[in-house]
Amino acid sequence: MRAPKIIKEAVSSQESGTNTLSRRDFIAATAATGIAVGVGQSAMASPQVLTPHIEYPLPKAEPELFMGTAAGAMLAQLRAAGVRTLFHTNVSGNVPFYEAIEAAGDVQVINVTHEGQGVAAAAGFAMASKGLGFFFGGHIGTGNAMSNIYNAWKDRVPLLLCIGGALGGPSQGADGQEQWDNPNGPFQAFTTWTATLVPEAVTVLLRRAMKFAFGPPSGPVVLGGGTGGQEQVQAPIYKIDIATMRHKSRADAESIQKAAQWLVEAENPLFVVGAEVGVEGAYDEIVALAEKLSVPVTETAHSLYANFPNYHPLFLGELEAVRFPRKEDLLISFGESFTTTQTDPLRNVPVVHISHDPNTLGRPIALDLAILSEVRTAIRDLSDALDGMLTKDRMAKIRANRLAQVSALTAQLKQSREMALRARFDSSPLTWERVGYELEKVLDKDAVIVPEVGTQYYKVLRQLRLGGPNKQKIGRTVGQALGWGVAAAFGVNLALPERQIVALQGDGGFLFGQSETLWSIARYEAPMLVVIFNNHVYNESRDRNMQNGGHFYEEGKDFDGYLGDPNVEYTKIAEAYGLKGEKVTTAGELPAALQRSLKSMRDGKAVVLDVDIAPDGPVLSQGTWYQRHSIAEIRKKKLNTTA
């Protein structure tokens, strides 16, 4: 047997200029002598012989050293982590950073004209690329950015936001120009960490920030102090593999065995699949596990990704609406945080929650078994445990019996959906279902859908084949603060330039400051489709306010729902930004309009398709009422007259 390779001689304290030996050097020195530090006597008597693996070479311990401006060090560290796309909203003070960007030659700044839209675009980019979203801007845009930082925090998106502005120093307490104390304070509720970049530790802090961004829990990190500046520094550049930044854990065998045993014993188990399946890309694994025992699968409302094929015979739909099996006796959550779920459906049902995020386990709901693990790994472990517990024959019998029951139900539900589609198929204004039906006919099989629509969303999404090898879905943001969708879709398009990207956007949500993103879509020639579901009303809140009747329902008075006056021409907004706009008012117009849109997308130009949609919910007697007030009418003084 060979003796272990001699570790490079430790650097002496004299050579290093210090009077003490570092811990690393001490261990290296003792290892070279064959003495294992901190190990029992018996191990010392017989040192272990390591067999080298060719695919795991010993990494170089010393990082590269960068010498130059702090801004240059910052960019070098970002590039070493594979970050090449930087989202930005205009602010002064970043010239050294731009100089570094220009010198590098392989980094793209994406300008967005509103900080909130820039953050949403960075989030969409991160979600699609499974990497890090990076945004830099000014502290003066803090208010603008907050809404979509909150959304990213809810979605657990790894974002790094470098915010410039005055920090500390003599200006504290002065209430000077664009200055307030504690600039990082507003971010703290919606970030996993905030700190201030200092030139002498710019790459150390950046590396640490990335670690916090990925966690778990993953989420936005804000670094104040801008983009480094022009102070000269010597900074270590760490080689960072973003794919491994998120710490991965594995459950203990006992927990897996317990979960597997419960699954075998349960007569009516149910799975719920959540965002962590999408984050990890564990699609094949969860389908295989569900099929193993034909366990029906659900998702929660506004599930962030298409975590399970929605056309699969085992897929029931939303957990809250499930009526099969009649008496669930076990629920296993695979990476679902239950953020948007009311807990009623889970009363009296034993719950096993598998998550890679320790912050999520047991938080919204009480659990019978919490399993901290990469979801993909837990699925495989569970599958192996089942193989060990059940004979193939028994497994096949359970699978066949349950599949017959579940698929009979899902076939009927599909028939009901078809009846609902056909009931008003040719209606104008259009139904949500009709739009989904036509989209499914023409979109690429692997298109990516980015929805930001209200409680009617399932009507269009259930007409699309989502999940598995078919279309993916990113959105709606779990945070549900409006003003996210179009920018997120733009970020997705930047990350996935070869895919067809379709934003499904409610008219109400579009009016939450999203036209700014059309500027970026035009500037960077993102050939995406934005479908605006224009029902001229904030349908979700109107539905909620009116569903129990009452005085306002009887009189048809909705104080904040009706949007149709003015009747916004979204096509003209699109054209104002140099994009193509099409209006669809009847069901018969939609197929041809979609064909023209696809052609425009193939030619490289984005399209905004404004589709008239029928409002939903209880019919108001005055559906277009709003509390009228006209400044022009009430003024007594007539301006600019010659009389």
Partner 1 sequence: MHGRRKMNKILFILVCNLVLWIAAADLGSGLAAQVSASPSNDQQAQIEKGREAVGQTCAACHAGILRMAQAQKQTQEQWKDTIFSMIGRGAEILPDEIEPMSVFLAATSARSGPAGAQSGQTGGRGRQAAGRPDQQGPDAEGRAILQRTCQQCHDMATATTKVPSEDWSAVITKMMGYGAKLTPADQQKLIEYLNGLAK
Q: Is the Cβ of residue 225 or residue 296 nearer to partner 1 in the bound state? A: 296
Q: Does 404 bind partner 1 (CB under 8 A)?
A: no
Q: Does 433 bind partner 1 (CB under 8 A)?
A: yes
Site for partner 1 in 293-312 (CB under 8 A): 301
**Which of these ranges, 199-207, 454-462, 468-476, 597-605, lies near partner 1 under the rule CB under 8 A?**
454-462
Name the minimum Å distance from CB 397 to partner 1: 26
Q: Let me know: does 434 contact 425? Beta carbons within 8 Å.
A: yes
Q: Is the Cβ of residue 20 or residue 627 nearer to partner 1 in the bound state? A: 627
Name the minimum Å distance from CB 568 to partner 1: 25
**Which of these ranges, 101-109, 112-120, 339-347, 393-401, lies near partner 1 under the rule CB under 8 A?**
339-347
Q: Does 415 bind partner 1 (CB under 8 A)?
A: yes
The amino acid that residue 465 corresponds to is R
Please write down the long-range contacts of 202-206, taking CB distance under 8 Å and 24 or more positions apart. Answer: 202/70, 202/73, 202/74, 202/77, 202/228, 202/233, 202/235, 203/66, 203/73, 203/74, 203/76, 203/77, 203/235, 203/236, 203/237, 203/238, 204/235, 204/236, 206/74, 206/77, 206/78, 206/160
**Per-residue x/- track, 607-626, partner 1 (CB under 8 A):** ---------xxxx-------
In the sheet where 220-224 sits, what is the strand order?
A: 108-111, 85-88, 133-138, 159-164, 220-224, 193-196
**289: closest CA among 372, 354, 376, 404?**
376
Alpha helices in 424-538 (DSSP H): 432-442, 457-461, 485-495, 507-510, 515-523
Q: Taking the C-alpha atoms of 328, 333, 336 and 342 in order, what is their torsion angle to the nearest 10 degrees?
A: 30
Pairing state between β 64-69 and 232-237 = antiparallel
**Which of these ranges, 209-217, 318-326, 563-571, 629-637, lies near partner 1 under the rule CB under 8 A?**
318-326
**Which of these ranges, 73-81, 156-164, 208-216, 320-328, lies near partner 1 under the rule CB under 8 A?**
320-328
User: CA 115, CA 131: separation in Å to the nearest integer?
Assistant: 20
Q: Does 350 bind partner 1 (CB under 8 A)?
A: no
Q: Is the Cβ of residue 357 or residue 616 nearer to partner 1 in the bound state? A: 616
Q: Does 440 bind partner 1 (CB under 8 A)?
A: no
**276: closest CA among 347, 353, 222?**
353
Q: Does 538 bind partner 1 (CB under 8 A)?
A: no
Site for partner 1 in 458-487 (CB under 8 A): 458-459, 462
Name the minimum Å distance from CB 295 to partner 1: 17
Q: Does 540 bind partner 1 (CB under 8 A)?
A: yes
Name the minimum Å distance from CB 586 to partner 1: 19
Q: Is the Cβ of residue 215 or residue 296 nearer to partner 1 in the bound state? A: 296
Q: What is the DSSP string of 411-430?
A: HHHHHHHHHHHHHTTT-SSB
**Per-residue x/- track, 120-159, partner 1 (CB under 8 A):** ----------------------------------------
Given the rule CB under 8 A, which residues bind partner 1? 301, 316-318, 320-324, 326, 340, 342, 344-345, 347-348, 409, 412-413, 415-417, 419-421, 423-424, 431-433, 455-456, 458-459, 462, 540, 543-553, 616-619
